[in-house]
A and B are shown apart, each in its own frame.
Chain A
Amino acid sequence: DAGITQSPRHKVTETGTPVTLRCHQTENHRYMYWYRQDPGHGLRLIHYSYGVKDTDKGEVSDGYSVSRSKTEDFLLTLESATSSQTSVYFCAISVDSVHEQYFGPGTRLTVT
C-alpha cells in the first residue's frame, strides 16, 4: 500500500459538464500518473507529472488536462465530458529510484 487515495470513487455525470478527479498520495513521491482502463485496450496513460507544476502528455491526452500544485495531489480534469470518456480511471505513483509503480483503487466515471 503506497498510501494512494482517489476521489470520488464513483461518479455519474452528463455530457458537456466539467469533471475533476483527485489523486492524493502520502509519501511525497515525485512521479504521479493518470491512466484510463477500457475493455480491449488495457491501461493507457493520459498524463503524468514529474514534480510540482511539471506535467507531460501521455498516449491519450486529448480532452484531458491535469494540475499539480502540491506534491501530494494530482488532479485530472475533463473540461467537457463526453460519452467516450466513460471509463475507469486509475492514479499511480512510481518510486523514484527504480520507477516501480503503485496504483490507487480507481474511479469509475460514467458520462450519460
Chain B
Amino acid sequence: KQEVTQIPAALSVPEGENLVLNCSFTDSAIYNLQWFRQDPGKGLTSLLLIQSSQREQTSGRLNASLDKSSGRSTLYIAASQPGDSATYLCAVSSTGNQFYFGTGTSLTVIP
C-alpha cells in the first residue's frame, strides 16, 4: 500500500515570501501525482497534475516537481498572498484508479 506523508503539518509565512511544500511517498512506481487545495469546509480544488513521465508542471505562481526515484514531490508557491491560505494536499496513484492522500499542510499567509 502506498503511504503518503506531508511535512510540515502546518506552516505560517509572511506575505510575499516564496515557499515550498513537501510530499513524500513510499512506492516509486506511480501513475501520477496530483496537488489540491482545500479551503475550510469546502471541497478539493485541483491545482496541478504530474504524470509519471513528467518532472514538473507549472500554473501561474505554482510549480510542482516530481522525483520518483527519491519518492518526493514539491509544490513551490511564489510571492505568497493571504488568499493562498488553505490546506494543501497531495495524492498519489500507482494504477490510475486508486489514489492515496497525504494528511495535508495547512498554510497561513500573514498580511
**Which residues of B are found within 8 Å of A45, using beta-carbon distances?**
98-100
Give the Cβ gap from B45 to chain A, nearest Cβ, in Å.
Answer: 8
Interface residues of A in 35-67 (CB under 8 A from B): 40-45, 48, 50, 58-59
With known contacts A98-B51, A101-B34, A90–B43 Cβ distance under 8 A: yes
Q: How far is the CA of A67 from the CA of B93 in the complex (A)?
A: 23
With known contacts A45-B98, A50-B97, A58-B98, A100–B43 Cβ distance under 8 A: no
With known contacts A90-B44, A99-B93, A101-B91, A42–B49 Cβ distance under 8 A: no
Interface size of B as a range = 20 to 34
- Is there contact, CB below 8 Å, between B99 and A101? yes
With known contacts A40-B103, A41-B103, A42-B103, A99–B46 Cβ distance under 8 A: no
For B44, give its contact among A41, A44, A94, A103 (CB under 8 Å).
Answer: A103
Q: How far is the CA of A103 from the CA of B44 in the complex (A)?
A: 6
Is the contact region of chain B dominated by helix, strand, or loop, or is it mixed? strand
Cβ of B32 under 8 Å from chain A: yes
- Is there contact, CB below 8 Å, between B43 and A99? no
The number of chain A residues with a CB under 8 A from chain B is: 24
- Is there contact, CB below 8 Å, between B32 and A99? yes
Q: How far is the CA of A41 from the CA of B97 in the complex (A)?
A: 20
- Is there contact, CB below 8 Å, between A101 and B104? no
**Which residues of B are found within 8 Å of A33, using beta-carbon distances?**
99
Give the Cβ gap from A64 to chain B, nearest Cβ, in Å.
Answer: 16
21 contacts between A and B (CB under 8 A): A31-B97, A42-B4, A42-B89, A42-B101, A42-B102, A43-B91, A48-B97, A58-B98, A90-B43, A98-B32, A99-B31, A99-B32, A99-B96, A100-B46, A100-B49, A101-B34, A102-B46, A103-B36, A103-B45, A105-B43, A106-B42
Given pairs A90-B43, A100-B46, 9 additional interface contacts (CB within 8 A): A42-B89, A43-B91, A44-B101, A48-B98, A50-B97, A92-B44, A98-B32, A103-B36, A105-B43
